[in-house]
Amino acid sequence: MNPKIAVIGQGYVGLPLAITSAEAGYSVYGIDLDVNKVKSISTGHSNIEDVSTERIVSQIKSGRYSISSDYSQVSNCKIVVICVPTPLDSDQKPDLSYVLHTATEISKHLKSETLVILESTVAPGTTRNVLIPALLKNSSLTPEQIDVAFSPERIDPTNSVWGLNKTPKIVSGFSESAKRKAIQFYSKFIETLIECDSLEIAETSKLLENSFRLINISFINQISIFCSKLGIDVNKVISAASTKPYGFMPFFPSLGVGGHCIPVDPVYLSHKAGEIGASVSLIDLAIKVNHDMPNFFIQQAESLLGELEDKKILVVGVAYKANISDVRETPVEALITGLRLKKAAVFWHDDLVQKWNGEESSSLGIQCDLAIIATPHDYIDLTKIKSNKILSTRSSVL
């Protein structure tokens, strides 16, 4: 019989993991402190694009999945997986408060030989030096009596090819026993598992993955500006370069980066580098490049309209990525803020998001002086836009 497990955090990482684990035969307790989310999911409603309502309802009816805000369920579990956010604080520094709070709550109910797996992105050394002491804080257990593993999440919302089951998963452990237990758990529903020799190697690999993406997105955004000044189409340049069968990977221009990974994870690497006296100046430059992208498109809007004061501008798509409703760290917020500082009348349309920052999505067909395509969801019919001028953030040519 598969052991009972608890998955802490029922968002874009935790909910797919919980439901997939339940489908693999585990009895799963989903735990989340957001009472509205708990109520919604417990009635079978999915707020995640990758998890259908039908899958949730099926697992609730089977008795293999339940959700609450009650950490006491941890005492009944042999495996506890932490999938809580690790954002940046107001000073743009790593914020481990969610991990620390979760670990403290878990420690009140932790039993000997329970396996605790951290999937949240952290700087190297965090699992060993921060998580484990926090797990022992309110417990009478010794470090030898618990098993701790780190296995970074690799969730790409709406990716129909590389879902949770198909994406290779990195696994590491504080001890060999912990790593073996984690491998046994994940092997029930993930096809390929990659073992790491240490917690720190696994932690750093996650930061490398997303720093690689940040740097290359920043680079292609700079190339896009370069192509704009030349008057050539950057997408045709990328298409031509992509014919090289080795040594090249295509990245595409955008308004910048968003979501819970790419804008955040490289900062964890940069912050750790500062602590140990290592230089990662390329990451710091890439962060700046992406932060500057909304200003570039504001300047493009000015080149099309002249003064932006009292001009009616429709921003199309506010989620950080096409075909999802997630607005975390979306660069569209900086774009809208910057346009409004220029005294433009800014409206936005996004039927997937609907409500955001106290505002509601406007009609795609409102009359405007300029439409800016920020996030091109598949459902959006550009022919419905009522503007003679359209600016796309995905192309270098006006």
**What per-residue confidence (pLDDT) applies to 142?**
85
Region 183-199: mean pLDDT is 98
Identify the pLDDT of residue 395. 81
Residues 239 and 160 in one domain: no
**Does 14 share its domain with 128?**
yes
In a domain, 219, yes or no: no
Which range has highest mean pLDDT (157-166, 176-185, 256-265, 317-326)? 176-185
**Ramachandran bin of 323, using left for φ above 0, alpha for ψ from -120 to 50, beta for the remaining angles:** left
Residues 46 and 167 placed together within one structural domain of the fold: yes
User: What is the pLDDT at residue 3?
Assistant: 84
Q: Quick check: 1 pLDDT over 80?
A: no
145 and 258 both lie in a single domain: no
Question: How does 140-173 read in b/e, with b if 16+ C-beta sit within 10 Å?
Answer: eeeeeebbbbbbbbbbbbeeeeeebeebebbbbb
303-327 average pLDDT score = 95
Taking residues 146-165, report their average pLDDT.
92
Q: Tell me which residue has tokens 């790419």.
A: 262
Q: For residues 309 and 342, is the Cβ–Cβ distance under 8 A?
A: yes
Tens digits of residue pLDDT in 340-397? 999 999 999 999 999 999 999 999 999 999 999 999 999 999 899 999 899 999 886 6
Domain CATH for 53: 3.40.50.720
218 located within any domain: no
**Residues acting as catalytic residues:** 261
Is residue 324 over pLDDT 70? yes
At which of 197, 221, 243 does a domain end?
197
Q: Whole-angstrom Cα distance, residue 169 to residue 396?
A: 36
217 assigned to some structural domain: no
Same domain, 177 and 279: no
Do 104 and 31 fall within a single domain? Answer: yes
Average pLDDT of span 147-163: 92
In the predicted model, is pLDDT for residue 139 greater than 90? no
Residue 398 pLDDT more than 60? Answer: no
Task: Judge whether 116 lies within some domain.
Answer: yes
What is the residue-averaged pLDDT of the chain?
94
> Are 33 and 147 within one domain?
yes
Distance separating alpha carbons of residues 211 and 100, to the nearest angstrom:
24
Q: What is the pLDDT of residue 198?
A: 98
Reported confidence tier of residue 138, pLDDT bands at 50, 70, 90 = confident
Total count of domains within the chain: 2
Question: Whose CA is closest to 174, among 196, 193, 153, 152?
Answer: 196
How far is residue 396 from each of residues 234, 297, 331, measured CA to CA in Å?
A: 6, 10, 17
Name the residue with higher pLDDT: 50 or 105.
105
pTM of the predicted model over 0.75: yes
**Is the same domain home to 53 and 106?**
yes
The residue segments making up the domain with residue 253 are: 235-392
> Looking at the structure, do residues 299 and 177 belong to the same domain, yes or no?
no
* HSE (side-chain half, CA atoms, 13 Å) at 272: 17
pLDDT digits (tens, 9 = 90+) for 23-76: 999 999 999 999 999 999 999 999 888 899 999 999 999 999 999 999 999 999
Are 269 and 366 part of one and the same domain? yes
Same domain? 180 vs 38: yes
Task: Tell me if 184 sits within 8 A of 147, measured CB to CB.
Answer: no
Tell me whether residue 227 is in a domain. no
Share of the chain above pLDDT 90, in %: 90
- pLDDT of res. 140: 83
Residue 172 within a domain: yes
In a domain, 20, yes or no: yes
Does 177 lie in the same domain as 66? yes
Residue 178 is classified by DSSP as H
Does a structural domain hold residue 112?
yes
What CA–CA distance (Å, rounded) separates 150 from 297? 40
